[in-house]
């Protein structure tokens, strides 16, 4: 398996963890899942991803800001990953 594919799989896994945590109302778990990601993990939108990740990592961010940033991050496609039906 190619290294990029492993990273893309890791990113998708973390996104799914965050998506599940958000659905369960577990904001801390969603933050933890997304905090480990990098802006370069996302296809074609590193500036947007960097801004969203900054909100996730900032302890002064409000719950509403974190929820909005997390919801946006789980919808971004991973870099170098083949599209999936949920990316459409």
DSSP 77: P
CA distance 29 to 33: 6
Where are the chain's structural domains? Answer: 3-80
In whole numbers, what is the pLDDT of the chain averaged over residues? 89
What is the share, in percent, of the chain residues with pLDDT greater than 70?
86
Cβ density class 19-53: b for 16+ within 10 Å, e for less = bebbeeeeeeebbebbeebebebbbeeeeebeebb
User: For the whole prediction, is pTM greater than 0.75?
Assistant: yes
Q: What is the pLDDT of residues 49-61, one digit of tens each?
A: 999 999 999 999 9
Using the Cα atoms of residue 57, residue 40, residue 29 and residue 63 in order, give the sign of their dihedral: positive
Q: Which tokens go with 73?
A: 């991050």
Answer yes or no: is pLDDT of 86 > 90.
no
């Amino acid at each position: 398996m190619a290294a990029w594919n492993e990273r893309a799989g890791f990113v998708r896994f973390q996104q799914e963890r965050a998506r599940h945590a958000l659905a369960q109302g577990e904001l801390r778990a969603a933050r933890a899942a997304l905090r480990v990601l990098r802006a370069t993990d996302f296809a074609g939108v590193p500036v947007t991803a960097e801004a969203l990740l900054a909100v996730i990592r900032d302890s002064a961010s409000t719950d509403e800001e974190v929820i909005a940033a997390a919801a946006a991050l789980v919808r971004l496609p991973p870099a170098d990953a083949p599209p999936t039906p949920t990316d459409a």
